[in-house]
Amino acid sequence: MQRVITSAPSKVILFGEHAVVYGEPAIAVAINLRTTVMMERAREYSVNGEPLDDRYHRYIKKAIELLWDGEPLRITTASAVPSASGMGSSASITVATVSALLAMMGREEERNVALNSFRVEYETQGRASPIDTSTVTHGKGILVANRKMDNFLWEVERGGTRWYIHHLEVPPLKLVVGFSGIKGHTPEMVEKVRRFYTWNAFARDVIREIGRITLEAIEPLENEDYERIGELMNRNNKLLTILGVSHPKLKEMIDASLRYSYGAKITGAGGGGCMIALTDEQDEVAKAIEEVGGKAYKVSIAQRGYEIMSRE
């Protein structure tokens, strides 16, 4: 195979960010902002016409190091996902790249894409959970738990922690993502929570409570009980604020959106990045977010995960 084109969605975490790193459950959904990768054999490595670079192309470079021993590749990327936003931009580019590399080798089965994409993200970031890469790989909804449950897909183990990945039926949620314009730094936020978790018993209680809220959310998601989902989102957000991963701009956008929403919360690592609101009034929520200086994205659930769009 000489050329392949792939795409992968982005994601938002509905419940359980940060807690999932410690083996607690989390729920995420894929959303319809996608990244596309075109990969073709070449005389030297390049990404969008520039030499492959450790700083600017670190996920792509790590994927090549771990998976590819063939001739150099010319890679072209395009993405609708803002970077460092909490919408899984790194997972989206990673899954699109990994699926392209595996497609070049005829090994692009879903589980293989998911496990290798997590390996790339983990080794690049130094610490991560598989929720982002699994959601982007599978599409739709994902439940990550510490035991095998119904609709099991695959399991991942790293550093003594084992995660069980499940398909989760989710309704056609109407979500608005508000981007603060402040780029979050996932490894920094994960390390901040790790220090709090290690030295403070209260922080460990907060992490466990986030896990309990996540499990409580499964039934209302399956039953399309939007009021209950929103209530649990608000509770989850208060706990994330206690962990220290909020930001004044995120709080401002959340407060503005709650007038028209069932619930709203930080999504992703925090410290900037994005919040999400569950609403029947996407236009009103988007307007409220932009009035306080955020950028609003009206999004829908992506039914497709990674996709091999073309191969030659």
DSSP state, residue 183: P
Q: Are 11 and 35 in contact (CB under 8 A)?
A: no
Q: Are 252 and 240 in contact (CB under 8 A)?
A: no
Query: CB-based contacts of 149: which residues, under 8 Å, 6+ apart?
Result: 143, 164, 166
Q: Which helix (H) or strand (E) holds 155?
A: strand 152-158
Return the axis-axis angle of helices 58-67 and 110-125, rounded to nearest 10°. Answer: 120
Q: Which residue has the tokens 């699926």?
A: 99
DSSP state, residue 108: -
Query: CB-based contacts of 127: which residues, under 8 Å, 6+ apart?
Result: 21, 159, 187, 190, 191, 194
DSSP state, residue 305: -
Phi, psi of 291 (to 5 degrees): -65, -25
Q: Which residues are identified as catalytic?
A: 132
Query: CB-based contacts of 204: which residues, under 8 Å, 6+ apart?
Result: 197
What single string gives the DSSP state of each residue in 10-77?
A: EEEEEE-TTGGGGT--EEEEEEEEEEEEEEEE-SS-EETTEE--TTTSHHHHHHHHHH--SS-EEEEE
Q: Closest Cα to residue 141, out of 128, 151, 156, 154?
A: 151
